[in-house]
Chains A and B, each alone.
Chain A
Amino acid sequence: MTALAATPAPVPPVAPARTTAQPVTFGRVVVGEWVKFRSVRSTVWTLVATVVLMTGFATLAAWGSTLTLEEQPAATGMNVAQLLSAGYQLGQLAVAVLAVLTITGEYSTGMIRSSFAAVPRRVPVLTAKALVVGVVVAVVTVATMGLSYLATMPFHDELEASFDLSSGETLRMTVGLPLYLVAVALLAFAAGALLRHTAGAITAVLATLLVIDNVVLLVPLRFFELISPFLPSAAGRRILFDEEMLASLDAVAEGATLTPWEGFGVLLGWVAVLLTLATIRARTRDA
C-alpha cells in the first residue's frame, strides 16, 4: 500500500454528532478530583495513619495523665477537649503529607498535563483539589475525635474529665482541631502547588510547622521576637490550647500575644497568601 493509494478523496468536514462530552463545570471538576483522590493508595494510607496516630496519642496522653495524677493530684478535673487534640502535632504531619501528595503526585508523574488538558483554565483544578482535601481532612478529623473520645473513656472518671460544649473555651478547642488541621492541609497543598516537588514541599512544610519556631527561639534578635507570634504554626495552634496553657506560653513570650481566634486568623492569612501565589503560578507557568 503506497501513500498515494491510501489517500482518500477529500471528505467534506462533517462534525460528527457529539453527545459524549458535556461542558466542564466546577461541580464536574470536583467529582473528577474526588475520583482521583480515592483511587490512589497513598491518600488512603496517610488517612489511616492520621486516624491511628491521633487516636493512639490521645489514649496515651489520657493514660499518662493518670500516672502524673498519682504523683501530684490536680486541683481541677481535666478538659476532654485537651485530650482529643493531644496528637495534633502528629496529625498535622500526616495531613500535610496527604495534602502535598495530592498535588505533587500529579506533577511528578506528569498527570498534571492530563488534568490541565481536560480543564485548561487550570484554576478550577486547584480549587477543586483544595476543596476535596479540606473536606476530607475535616471529616476524618471529626471522626478521629469521636474515636479518641471513645478510646479515652476508660480514663475519664479517674481524671475527673469533663466535656462541656456549652463552655466557650471547650467549644473553641473542639472546633479548633478540625479547623487547624484543615488550615495546615491547605498550607501544605499550596506549598506543593508552588514547589511542584514532593520531597521539597514536604521538607518546606515540616520546617515551617516544626523547625522554624525553635530556630527563631534560639536566636535572641529583636526581629525574630517580633515575628515569632505570627509564624503560621505558632499563631494557628493557639486555637487548640486552654487558657491555662496559653497563659504559660505568653509568660515566656517576648512579642505580641494574640487571642486564639486572632492567631487562627493569622494562619488563615498565610494560607490565603500561599494559595494565591499557587494559583498565579499555575495560571502563568507551563505545565
Chain B
Amino acid sequence: MIEAIGLTKRYGTKTAVDDVSFTVAPGKVTGFLGPNGAGKSTTMRMIVGLDRPTRGTVVVNGRSYREHRAPLGEVGCLLDAKAVHTGRSAANHLAAMAATHGIGRTRVDEVIEMTGLRDVAGKRVGGFSLGMGQRLGIAAALLGDPRTLILDEPVNGLDPEGVVWVRTLVRAMAAEGRTVFLSSHLMSEMALTADHIIVIGRGRILADAPVAEVVAAAAGSAVQVRTPQPEAFEGLMAQYGARVTASGPGRFEVHGTTAPMIGEAAAAASITLHELTPLQASLEDAYLQLTAGEVEYHSSGDPSPLRAAAPALQTEGSLR
C-alpha cells in the first residue's frame, strides 16, 4: 500500500511534481502512466526517500520509507537500471545489497535464477546490455521478498520474451496480495498488465481509475456506420445533433451518440444501414487525449485537435 498526500517536488523554479495525491492498493497492478518528463520517476524516487519532497508526504505500508527497519523487505524498487557500479559483478552487487539486510546467499542465487541471470552473474555489470541491466535491477528489487514492488519502466530494453516475463511476474505478485506500482510511457503494455492506472502529465494527476473506465470515458468513442443512403443519413444525424464524419463512400463515423440510438433513428426514418459498429477507443487514444496538453515536447506541429478533446473528458465523473 502506497499513500501519497499532496506530494510536491520543485527543482529551482521548475515544478516536477505538483500537489499529487493518490493511493496504490495491494492485490492489483497499478500502472503509472505519463509522457517523458511528466514526473513519474521523481514521484517514485520520493516514495523510497531518494528525493526529498518539497511539500507533502508519502507512506509505504503505513510508514515513511526511511522509518522501516528492513526497507528491502517492505519495498523492492527498480528505479534506474543504471543504479549499479559498472565495475562489480551482478552476483556481488546483489550480495552487497543482501548483506545490509542479513539476506542469505540462497536468496541471492534464487533471484539470479528467477531473473535468468545465471550465465552472466559473475560478469561485470559494465558489459551488460540494457535488458540484462533491467533484469539485474528487478533481481535487486525482489531480493527482500517485498510486500510492495515499485518498478520504473521495467520493460525498457527487454526483448519480447522479457516483456512477457515481467508481465507474468507482476501479475503473480499482485495475485499474492502484494502492491505493485509500475510506470511506463507505453500505453499498450499497460493495457495488458495493469488493473488500475494513474495518469500523470506535467506533474499533475490527470486520471486515477480502473483501466476499463479510462477507456470507456475516452472522448474518441464513435460508431461506424455504412449506408446506401448517405445524404438521408447525414440529414437525420444532423437532426439529432450528432457529429458525422465521412470515412469513405457511404461510410461514416458518428460521434456523440450510441449505436442503439442510431439504429432506432434509422429504422424510424426507414434508412437502410449495412453496418453499425461501436468503435471502442483504445487505451492509447484515451491516454493521448488525457496528456495532449501536458506533453513537454511535442513532435507534431499542431496538437490542437487532441487538446480540444481533453476538456470534454475532464467533465467525466470518474476522472479528475
Contacts and interface: CB of A to CB of B under 8 A. Distances in A.
A42 B283 CA distance: 49
B118 interface: no
A287 B82 CA distance: 14
Contacts of A29: 100
B83 A110 contact: yes
Contacts of B178: 16
Contacts of A40: 85, 87-88
A115 B147 CA distance: 20
A46 to B, nearest CB: 12
B83 to A, nearest CB: 4
Contact of B85 (A7, A11, A106, A119): A106
B169 to A, nearest CB: 14
A286 B85 contact: no
A182 B145 CA distance: 39
B70 A14 contact: no
A208 B188 CA distance: 56
Interface in B91-128: 92-93, 95-103, 107
Greatest chain B CB density within 10 A among A16, A111, A114 is at A114
A256 B277 CA distance: 94
Contacts of B107: 20
Contact of B70 (A22, A33, A42, A114): A22
Nearest to A43: B87
A3 B99 contact: no
A41 B89 CA distance: 10
A21 interface: yes
B176 interface: yes
Interface residues of B, number: 64
Chain A: interface size category:
35 or more
A120 B66 contact: yes
Given A10-B27, A105-B87, A111-B84, A21 B73 contact: yes
Contacts of A16: 145, 147, 176-178
B86 interface: yes
Interface in B124-176: 140, 143-147, 171, 174-176
A108 to B, nearest CB: 9
A25 B4 CA distance: 28
B100 A119 contact: yes
A116 interface: yes
A11 B143 CA distance: 23
Given A13-B27, A117-B77, A18 B86 contact: no
Contacts of B73: 18, 20-21
A113 B212 CA distance: 35
Interface in A82-97: none
A34 to B, nearest CB: 8
Nearest to A42: B87
A251 B241 CA distance: 102
A25 B103 CA distance: 12
Contacts of A42: 87
B86 A24 contact: no
Nearest to A2: B191
B65 A120 contact: yes
B96 A120 contact: no
Given A21-B72, A114-B83, A32 B50 contact: no
B26 A13 contact: yes
B195 A21 contact: no
Interface in B49-87: 49-52, 65-66, 68-73, 77, 79-80, 82-87
A36 B50 contact: no
Contacts of A36: 85, 88, 92, 96
Interface string B35-56: 0000000000100111110000
Nearest to A106: B85
B86 A109 contact: yes
A43 to B, nearest CB: 9
A18 B147 contact: yes
A12 B177 contact: yes
A114 B97 contact: yes
Nearest to A17: B145
B49 A111 contact: no
A114 B100 CA distance: 11
A117 B145 contact: no
Contact of A105 (B26, B52, B85, B99): B85
Nearest to A39: B92
A41 B85 CA distance: 11
A252 interface: no
A10 B30 CA distance: 13
A32 B100 contact: yes
A120 B48 contact: yes
A3 B283 contact: yes
Interface string B257-291: 00000000000000000000000000100000000
Contact of B171 (A2, A6, A109, A117): A6
Contact of B192 (A3, A13, A20, A32): A3
7 contacts: A3-B194, A11-B26, A11-B27, A21-B102, A39-B89, A109-B85, A120-B48
Interface of A: 1-4, 6-8, 10-16, 18, 20-25, 28-29, 31-36, 39-42, 105-106, 109-114, 116-121, 284, 286-287
- A-B pairs, top 7 by smallest CB distance, nearest first, are A21-B73, A22-B102, A21-B144, A39-B92, A32-B99, A120-B66, A13-B26
Given A8-B195, A28-B101, A286-B50, 7 more contacts: A1-B192, A18-B144, A40-B85, A40-B87, A109-B84, A117-B77, A287-B50
